[in-house]
Amino acid sequence: MERKEVILSEHLEGSLEDAIGRCSHDRLFVLCDTTTLQLCWPLLAPMRCMAGAQTITIGATDEHKTLESLSAVWTALQQGGATRHSLMVNLGGGMVTDLGGFAASTFKRGIQYINIPTTLLSMVDASVGGKTGINFGGLKNEIGVFNCAASVIIDTQFLRTLDHQNLLSGYAEMLKHGLISDEPTWAELMRFPLDDIDYGHLQRMVARSVAVKERIVDADPLEHGIRRALNLGHTVGHAFESMALAQERTVLHGYAVAWGLVCELYLSTRRAGFPRDKFYQTIQFVRDHYGRFPFDCNDYPRLFELMTHDKKNTSGRINFTLLGDLGDIRIDQTATREEIMDMLDFYREY
CA 60/CA 41 separation, integer angstroms: 14
CA 286/CA 288 separation, integer angstroms: 5
Catalytic residue among 173, 228, 271, 330: 173
CA 122/CA 118 separation, integer angstroms: 7
CB 32 within 8 A of CB 175: no
Could you tell me the sign of the dihedral formed by the alpha carbons of 63, 65, 69, 71, in that order? negative
CA 223/CA 281 separation, integer angstroms: 30
- Fill in the DSSP letter of residue 128: S
CATH 3.40.50.1970 residue ranges for the chain: 5-161
pTM for this entry: 0.90
Helix (H) or strand (E) holding 307: helix 300-308
- Identify the segments of the chain with pLDDT beneath 50: none
Catalytic residue among 65, 140, 147, 223: 223
Q: For residue 136, list its beta bridge partners.
A: 139
Told to judge if 109 belongs to the known catalytic residues of this protein, a careful annotator would answer yes
Told to judge if 309 belongs to the known catalytic residues of this protein, a careful annotator would answer no
Told to judge if 85 belongs to the known catalytic residues of this protein, a careful annotator would answer no
How do residues 198-251 score in pLDDT, each as one tens digit? 998 999 999 999 999 989 998 998 888 999 999 999 999 999 999 998 998 889
Told to judge if 227 belongs to the known catalytic residues of this protein, a careful annotator would answer yes
CB 86 within 8 A of CB 27: yes
CB 182 within 8 A of CB 326: yes
CATH H-level, domain 164-349: superfamily: Dehydroquinate synthase-like - alpha domain (1.20.1090.10)
Catalytic residue among 176, 177, 238, 278: 238
Catalytic residue among 253, 271, 278, 330: 253
CATH 1.20.1090.10 residue ranges for the chain: 164-349
**CA-wise closest residue to 160 among 97, 98, 124, 203:** 203
Told to judge if 131 belongs to the known catalytic residues of this protein, a careful annotator would answer yes
Helix (H) or strand (E) holding 92: strand 87-92
DSSP-derived secondary structure for 19-55: HHHTS--S-EEEEEEHHHHHHTHHHHTTSGGGTTPEE
Catalytic residue among 65, 227, 271, 278: 227
Told to judge if 253 belongs to the known catalytic residues of this protein, a careful annotator would answer yes
pLDDT at 161: 84
Told to judge if 238 belongs to the known catalytic residues of this protein, a careful annotator would answer yes
Told to judge if 3 belongs to the known catalytic residues of this protein, a careful annotator would answer no
Catalytic residue among 90, 115, 231, 319: 231
How do residues 163-178 score in pLDDT, each as one tens digit? 999 999 999 999 999 9
Catalytic residue among 4, 64, 65, 131: 131
Please name the amino acid found at residue 181: S
pLDDT at 147: 95
Catalytic residue among 2, 48, 109, 248: 109
pLDDT at 2: 59
Catalytic residue among 140, 177, 213, 228: 213
Q: Which CATH architecture has domain 5-161?
A: 3-Layer(aba) Sandwich (3.40)
